[in-house]
Amino acid sequence: MPTNIMEGFSLSQVAILDGATSAEDALNTLGTDLYGVRSAAIAPDVGNFDNEGDDAVLSSWFWLNFATISVTAGYISLPVLAAITGKAISSSGSGATQKYGFDLWHEDHFNVSPKPMLIRVPSKDSAGAVRRLDIILYKAQFGPFTFSGPAYKAGMEVSFDARALASAADELGVAFVDGKKRVGRMVSGAVI
C-alpha cells in the first residue's frame, strides 16, 4: 500500500495540457510536451502584512499573488510555441525537403489566453514504492519565450516563463464546488 509521504527526484515531463483531457486521464498523451526539458522551477510570489501594536507584532497575514514557472529546454519545439501563442506552424515541401516555419515574436504572440500545464516528477513514497508526482497548474499565463545562445560548443537553449494564476476552475474548466480559487494540485500516482 503506498504512503502519502513522497520524495521527488529529477524531472521527466513538462507539458501544456489541451484543456479537454484531465491530467490523470491523459497519462502519456498529456498534450504538447516541452521536449528536452533541462530544468523547471516553480516559485510562489507571496505577500505579507504584520499587524503591529503595543510595540509588537500582534498578528501576520499572508497571501499568494501568483507562482512563477521557469522552464529551460535544449530543443526548440514549434508545436509548443504554437500551443503557447495560439498561432499555426507553416510548412512547405515534402519528404527531405520539407520546411517548417514559425514567426519569431509576432505581436499577436503576447498576452494570449492562459493554458493548463503539468510538471511530472519521478518519485518514491516513504516506503520506497516507485510513484510519479504530478504538479498540475490550472491557469498558466505565458510570457515571451527567450533564447540562451547559440554559443560555441555550448549550444542553444529556449526558455519559457509563465505565471500560474489562481483559478476558479480546474484544467478542464470545471468550476470548483466550494467557489474558492486555487493555482493547481499535486497528485501522487502509480507509474503505469
User: For residue 155, what is the domain's CATH number?
Assistant: 2.30.110
Asked, for residue 59, whether it belongs to a domain, the answer is no
Asked, for residue 56, whether it belongs to a domain, the answer is no
| The pLDDT of residue 31 | 56
| The pLDDT of residue 109 | 86
Asked, for residue 113, whether it belongs to a domain, the answer is yes
| The pLDDT of residue 9 | 85
Cα gap 52→47, rounded to integer Å: 16
**10-residue block means of pLDDT along the chain (192 residues)?**
87 84 66 77 94 94 94 87 88 93 89 90 90 92 88 85 95 94 91 74
Cα gap 162→117, rounded to integer Å: 10
User: How many structural domains is the chain composed of?
Assistant: 1
Domain of residue 28 covers 6-47+68-190
Selection from 78, 79, 76 nearest residue 32 by Cα: 79
Asked, for residue 61, whether it belongs to a domain, the answer is no
Cα gap 56→144, rounded to integer Å: 44
Please give the C-alpha separations between residue 190 and each of 1, 3, 30, 40, 132, in angstroms, as whole numbers.
11, 11, 16, 22, 6
CA geometry: angle 69, 175, 33, nearest 5 deg = 35
Cα gap 192→184, rounded to integer Å: 22
Asked, for residue 74, whether it belongs to a domain, the answer is yes
Q: What is the CA radius of gyration of the chain?
A: 20
**How many CA atoms lie within 13 Å of 36's alpha carbon, on the beta-carbon side?**
11
Asked, for residue 60, whether it belongs to a domain, the answer is no
pTM exceeds 0.75, yes or no: yes
